[in-house]
């Protein structure tokens, strides 16, 4: 149904001059009824209501001050498409001032203030004028590819927010990787930065033209992350804009270092109002309050609330200290950012300084990220295993509306790679797979198939979580009748302070360890949000890269860059997975996006590991005057879901 502006009351006839205070008389009768009569009543109706004698009042003057004309007749008829109301003047508008309609596919047209002509308004490039022909719209509009992404992954979009993450060191840039998933259209992308202290974004450099499947890496190098505790700032963030739907990932740092993790970004259009935070306790050698989440307001006058299961730090100006089980409140405008960190003052045990399970709620959509500056996975007994490797963790929490009830939980790709310094098969042991399950509502019971030790899991209220681990190479399926979110945490690399090989000084259990990669944190995507096509790119500088493919048994074949994937491992009767190796991309090399597709929905996860050997491109952040010269040995991993729908499943 096309919406239109209200009909206007006619002008007074020239034969009866208007009294000097006609407008005041009109307003005295109907304070809330402007002289153009919002309820479409004609001027004659107003005159009757005034109960004035004939000729005492000619009618309400027209707001736009247009010329008077008429023959003294009165007409109240009007039509939706053109002719407006007429009064005793006989003036018949051709259209309703301000009314909008499609002129043709290339332009809108707007009714002039006089009501006597239509003024064309060309549609912007890459848009088509679309008539409003249903109850989901109110007016004809120029719509383009950024207004409808039905044919692309919903994790694709035209506007993305990015914030630099807390790293072990800020000397290395983050990267925002953007790829054009379209098969024929060129995408024009522009990176903006919001200078700290302002709410006004500014373009960085020139716009970039991306051909189909082309990739571009933007370096995020501002040094605004000045602390490791709760803080509030205006600006300091980035926004990526495109005229075609694109996909985006955030890597911190931007290439292989001795501390990485990555996130799939969701567009602004997919952001919602309620989230549950996933993080992890900081490594024992970490100072400060590095378990955190950050929120960026997307609209002015946003009210943010958070309900943490631990005490969270505050500075009072304006971030409040919040005791566990209580709630914090903050008012924000677009591009304002707040970081909330677990309090180190009130909690001496660093293993308990973890904001995981915090429920975040706002009255308008917000952007949120969460993580830990450097986490050791799993948390070890401090007496038996006092030290160990840690790495940054980060994720962009998926809004609660998109959580589901069934998830496939594939074991992370095997880290026994002799060619890259891994433990040969059969020697000692291998890493376990560590899981946390977060409740999206109250009274959630989660089961596994095949059954796993530590399950079923029952969670009493939203934000509660349970942690368990399974042996190496163990995959299964989570299910429940209520929404929840499983998150996998990659295990830390083995800490071995045993240079002489005597077997003494090991700081990890000898039967469950890895020498390839380091921790990472990544959410699963519910099977309800699987797609039939994904476009993805790996992180830069990682020799070991995988795309994990999750496929329903008996569904159609899946091709990667045109080649059919043939080898799958069954999980149960319904689901199977494949770990497909993806070629490494070295720093400075050109890279193209990979396309993976099928006729039936399926899921993908991206995972990468560092080698346990020196690498010329390793970005080492703990170099001192006593550090041997490069190349250095990096210990790192990254992991994130490769894409998803954004269809509401659950109403929080």
For residue range 87-99, what is the model confidence (pLDDT) as tens digits?
Answer: 555 677 889 998 9
Residue 469 is assigned to a structural domain of this protein: no
- pLDDT above 70 as % of the chain: 79
Residue 568 is assigned to a structural domain of this protein: yes
Residue 323 is assigned to a structural domain of this protein: yes
Residue 219 is assigned to a structural domain of this protein: yes
Residue 367 is assigned to a structural domain of this protein: yes
b/e map 42-77, b = 16+ CB within 10 Å: bbbebbeebeeeeeebbbbbbeeebeeebeeebbee
Mean pLDDT, to the nearest integer, of 447-471?
Answer: 97
Is 162 found in the same domain as 139? no
Q: Which of 147, 166, 181 is the last residue of a domain?
A: 147
State the chain's mean pLDDT as an integer: 82
Q: Tell the residue number behind the tokens 């095949």, with chain if given.
A: 450
Is 557 found in the same domain as 515? yes
Q: What pLDDT score was predicted for residue 89?
A: 59
Mean pLDDT, to the nearest integer, of 272-286?
Answer: 88
Cβ neighbors of 346 (< 8 A, separation 6 or more) are 311
Is 205 found in the same domain as 143? no
Q: Rounded CA gap, 102 and 109, in Å?
A: 6
Mean pLDDT, to the nearest integer, of 223-234?
Answer: 75
pLDDT in tens, 510-526: 778 788 889 999 999 99
Q: Rounded CA gap, 173 and 218, in Å?
A: 10
pLDDT at residue 162 is higher than 50: yes
Residue 463 is assigned to a structural domain of this protein: no
pLDDT at residue 131 is higher than 70: yes
Contact 359, 463 (CB under 8 A): yes
Is 602 found in the same domain as 577? yes
Q: Tell the residue number behind the tokens 């099977």, with chain if given.
A: 527
More confident of the two residues 147 and 243: 243
Mean pLDDT, to the nearest integer, of 320-332?
Answer: 96
Q: Rounded CA gap, 238 and 225, in Å?
A: 13
Q: What pLDDT score was predicted for residue 545?
A: 94
pLDDT in tens, 12-70: 333 333 333 433 333 333 333 333 333 333 333 333 333 334 333 333 443 433 333 33
More confident of the two residues 618 and 319: 319
Q: Read off the pTM.
A: 0.81
Mean pLDDT, to the nearest integer, of 201-212?
Answer: 96
More confident of the two residues 263 and 616: 263
Q: What pLDDT score was predicted for residue 642?
A: 94
Find the domain containing 105 and state its range: 100-147
Q: What pLDDT score was predicted for residue 417?
A: 59
pLDDT at residue 125 is higher than 60: yes
pLDDT in tens, 338-393: 999 999 887 888 888 999 999 999 999 999 999 998 899 999 888 888 888 888 99
Is 209 found in the same domain as 110? no
Mean pLDDT, to the nearest integer, of 553-571?
Answer: 97
Q: Residue 631, preceding bond cis, omega within 30 degrees?
A: yes
**Residue 369 CB-half CA count within 13 A:** 26
Q: Residue 253, preceding bond cis, omega within 30 degrees?
A: yes
Q: Which of 89, 122, 147 is the last residue of a domain?
A: 147
Is 327 found in the same domain as 186? yes
pLDDT at residue 250 is higher than 50: yes
Give 247's pLDDT tier (boundaries 50, 70, 90).
very high
Q: What pLDDT score was predicted for residue 164?
A: 87
Residue 72 is assigned to a structural domain of this protein: no
Is 137 found in the same domain as 250? no
> Is residue 147 classed as helix, strand or coil in its secondary structure?
helix
For the ranges 204-213, 260-269, 456-465, 617-626, the lowest mean pLDDT is seen at 617-626
Q: Tell the residue number behind the tokens 């193209």, with chain if given.
A: 592
Structural domains counted in the chain: 2
Contact 614, 240 (CB under 8 A): no
Q: What pLDDT score was predicted for residue 266?
A: 96
More confident of the two residues 427 and 24: 427
Q: Rounded CA gap, 32 and 28, in Å?
A: 10
Is 494 found in the same domain as 371? yes
Closest CA to 569 of 547, 549, 597: 549
Q: What pLDDT score was predicted for residue 515?
A: 82
Q: What pLDDT score was predicted for residue 80?
A: 40
Measured at the CA of 386, the angle between CA 383 and CA 388, to 5 degrees, comes to 150
For the ranges 260-274, 324-338, 495-509, the lowest mean pLDDT is seen at 495-509
More confident of the two residues 53 and 114: 114
Give 328's pLDDT tier (boundaries 50, 70, 90).
very high
Is 355 found in the same domain as 214? yes
pLDDT at residue 188 is higher than 50: yes
Is 141 found in the same domain as 241? no
């Amino acid at each position: 149904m096309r919406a239109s502006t209200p009909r206007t009351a006619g002008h007074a006839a020239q034969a009866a001059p208007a009294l000097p205070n006609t407008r005041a008389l009109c307003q005295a009768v109907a304070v809330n009824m402007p002289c153009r009569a919002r309820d479409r009543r004609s001027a004659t109706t107003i005159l009757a209501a005034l109960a004035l004698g004939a000729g005492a009042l000619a009618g309400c003057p027209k707001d736009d001050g247009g010329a008077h004309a008429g023959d003294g007749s009165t007409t109240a008829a009007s039509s939706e498409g053109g002719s407006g109301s007429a009064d005793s003047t006989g003036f018949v508008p051709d259209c309703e001032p301000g009314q909008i309609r499609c002129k043709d596919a290339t332009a809108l047209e707007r009714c002039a203030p006089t009501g006597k002509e239509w003024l064309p308004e060309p549609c912007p490039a890459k848009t088509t004028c679309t008539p409003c022909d249903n109850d989901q719209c109110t007016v004809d509009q120029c719509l383009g590819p950024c207004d409808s992404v039905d044919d692309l992954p919903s994790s694709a979009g035209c506007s993305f927010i990015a914030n630099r993450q807390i790293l072990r060191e800020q000397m290395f840039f983050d990267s925002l990787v953007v790829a054009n998933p379209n098969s024929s259209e060129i995408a024009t992308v522009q990176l903006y930065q919001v200078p700290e202290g302002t709410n006004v974004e500014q373009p960085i450099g020139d716009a970039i033209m991306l051909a189909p499947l082309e990739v571009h890496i933007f370096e995020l190098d501002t040094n605004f992350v000045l602390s490791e505790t709760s803080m509030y700032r205006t600006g300091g963030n980035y926004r990526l804009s495109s005229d075609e739907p694109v996909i985006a990932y955030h890597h911190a740092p931007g290439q292989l270092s001795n501390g990485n993790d990555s996130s799939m970004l969701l567009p602004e259009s997919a952001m919602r109002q309620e989230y549950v935070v996933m993080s992890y306790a900081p490594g024992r050698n970490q100072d400060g309050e590095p378990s955190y989440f950050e929120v960026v307001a997307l609209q002015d006058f946003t009210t943010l609330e958070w309900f943490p299961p631990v005490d969270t730090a505050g500075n009072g100006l304006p971030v409040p200290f919040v005791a566990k089980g209580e709630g914090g409140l903050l008012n924000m405008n677009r591009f304002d950012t707040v970081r909330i960190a677990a309090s180190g003052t009130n909690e001496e045990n660093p293993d308990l300084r973890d904001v995981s399970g915090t429920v975040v709620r706002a009255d308008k959509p917000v952007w949120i990220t969460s993580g830990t500056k450097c986490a050791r996975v799993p948390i070890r007994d401090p007496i038996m295993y006092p030290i160990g490797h840690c790495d940054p963790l980060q994720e962009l929490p998926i809004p609660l509306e998109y959580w589901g009830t069934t998830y496939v939980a594939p074991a992370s790709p095997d880290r026994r790679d002799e060619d890259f310094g891994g433990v040969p098969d059969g020697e000692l042991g291998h890493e376990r797979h560590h899981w946390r399950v977060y409740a999206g509502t109250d009274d959630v019971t989660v089961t596994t198939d095949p059954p796993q030790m530590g399950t079923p899991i029952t969670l009493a209220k939203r934000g509660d979580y349970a942690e368990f681990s399974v042996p190496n190479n163990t995959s299964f399926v989570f299910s429940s009748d209520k929404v929840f979110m499983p998150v996998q945490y990659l295990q830390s690399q083995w800490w071995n302070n045993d240079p002489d090989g005597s077997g003494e000084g090991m700081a990890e259990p000898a039967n469950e360890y890895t020498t390839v990669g380091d921790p990472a944190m990544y959410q699963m995507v519910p099977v309800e949000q699987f797609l039939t096509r994904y476009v993805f790119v790996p992180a830069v500088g990682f020799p070991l890269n995988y795309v994990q493919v999750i496929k329903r048994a008996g569904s159609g074949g899946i091709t990667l860059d045109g080649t059919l994937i043939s080898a799958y491992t069954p999980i149960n009767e319904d689901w199977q997975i494949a770990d497909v190796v993806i070629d490494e991309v070295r720093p400075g090399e050109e890279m193209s996006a990979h396309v993976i597709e099928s006729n039936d929905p399926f899921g993908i996860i991206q995972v990468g590991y560092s080698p346990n050997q020196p690498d010329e491109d390793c970005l080492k952040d703990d170099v001192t005057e006593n550090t041997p010269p490069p190349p250095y040995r990096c210990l790192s991993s990254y992991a994130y879901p490769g894409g998803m729908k954004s269809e509401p499943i659950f109403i929080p």
